[in-house]
Amino acid sequence: MVNLALAWAEQYQKDHPDVEIAVTGGGSGTGIAALINNSVDIANASRAIKKEEIADAEKQGVTPVEFIVARDAIGIIVHPSNPVSQLTRQQLSDIYSGKINNWKELGGEDRPIVRLSRESNSGTHVYFLEQVVRLGDSNNKTMFSADTLLLPSSEGIVSEIRQNPNAIGYDGLGYIPKDLKIIAVAKNPGEPYVLPSIATVNDKTYPIARDLYMYTPNQPSGAIKDYLDWILAGEAQAIVAQQGFVPIKPGP
């Protein structure tokens, strides 16, 4: 979410020169940890705050307040020469947990599958684990296979997939450049395969979509409240679409 937060901050500071906004990255885990320590005004997160984190925050005297500020689709990306174009969630879960190891088991070429993922401090990683590897079932304890490559940034995933036909990876739609191939995903076997886009996220047909959050320590007031109100309005949501994410309400 750091690109989106930066784009918002830049636009807002242009419109309101007396306000100063500093944005730092580090993953959802970092943001929420800072929120718990009460060292930030707003924490961006691409996953919902966990119960244990809320408990930790309250121990420090902080009550997190949640705002849904945008939506995102997780796109599954492969090398453009890869013949596989559609997968079910179950197949994705089997790929990432280590049950399927060769592309030929999915109708592709005889190549080993190289799984790419973000590091565990990323909200994208946690969301993917819960909704795809574990199929949304909170009692499912399947884990990423131990040989999943955990790359420190979206850029790392993109540059590896761009030149490695064995690789499969995932990332938020806003970070996927146009030259990579996106896989159509079906929620369950037998259901239609859907490609991610603004339309399919908002009408809930794309199965791997998530909300993007901003958390404040306690109810926001003053300049912070003004900034959040601005974000939830039309102009900021147009920036959301520009960045490749999905606005929570249609344009201005």
Q: Is 63 in the site for other proteins (CB under 8 A)?
A: no
Q: Is 163 in the site for other proteins (CB under 8 A)?
A: yes
Q: Least distance from C-beta 160 to other proteins, angstroms? A: 7
Stretch that binds other proteins, among 3-11, 138-146, 212-220, 233-241 (CB under 8 A): 138-146
With CB under 8 A as the contact rule, the residue among 80, 83, 107, 112 that binds other proteins is 112
Residue located via tokens 């995932």: 170
Q: Is 114 in the site for other proteins (CB under 8 A)?
A: yes
Q: Is 68 in the site for other proteins (CB under 8 A)?
A: no
Q: Is 217 in the site for other proteins (CB under 8 A)?
A: no
Q: Is 148 in the site for other proteins (CB under 8 A)?
A: yes
CB 93 within 8 A of CB 193: no
Q: Is 91 in the site for other proteins (CB under 8 A)?
A: no
Residue located via tokens 């060292």: 39
CA quadruple 23, 128, 202, 174: dihedral sign:
positive
Q: Is 56 in the site for other proteins (CB under 8 A)?
A: yes
Distance of alpha carbon 189 from alpha carbon 149, whole angstroms: 27
Q: Is 29 in the site for other proteins (CB under 8 A)?
A: yes
> With respect to other proteins, which residue has the nearer C-beta, 105 or 119?
119
CB 240 within 8 A of CB 44: no
Stretch that binds other proteins, among 109-117, 197-205, 210-218, 226-234 (CB under 8 A): 109-117
With CB under 8 A as the contact rule, the residue among 4, 33, 62, 78 that binds other proteins is 33
Distance of alpha carbon 232 from alpha carbon 217, whole angstroms: 18
Q: Is 119 in the site for other proteins (CB under 8 A)?
A: yes
Of residues 152, 130, 112, 110, the one with CA closest to residue 48: 130
Q: Is 37 in the site for other proteins (CB under 8 A)?
A: yes
Count of C-beta atoms within a 10 Å radius of residue 228? 18
Count of C-beta atoms within a 10 Å radius of residue 218? 12
Stretch that binds other proteins, among 74-82, 150-158, 175-183, 217-225 (CB under 8 A): 150-158
Distance of alpha carbon 240 from alpha carbon 6, whole angstroms: 11
Distance of alpha carbon 252 from alpha carbon 249, whole angstroms: 9
**Paired tokens of 90:** 């179950």
Distance of alpha carbon 30 from alpha carbon 66, whole angstroms: 16
Q: Is 214 in the site for other proteins (CB under 8 A)?
A: no
Positions that interact with other proteins (CB under 8 A): 26-27, 29-30, 33, 36-37, 53, 56, 111-114, 119-121, 126, 141, 143-144, 146-152, 156, 159-160, 163-164, 166-167
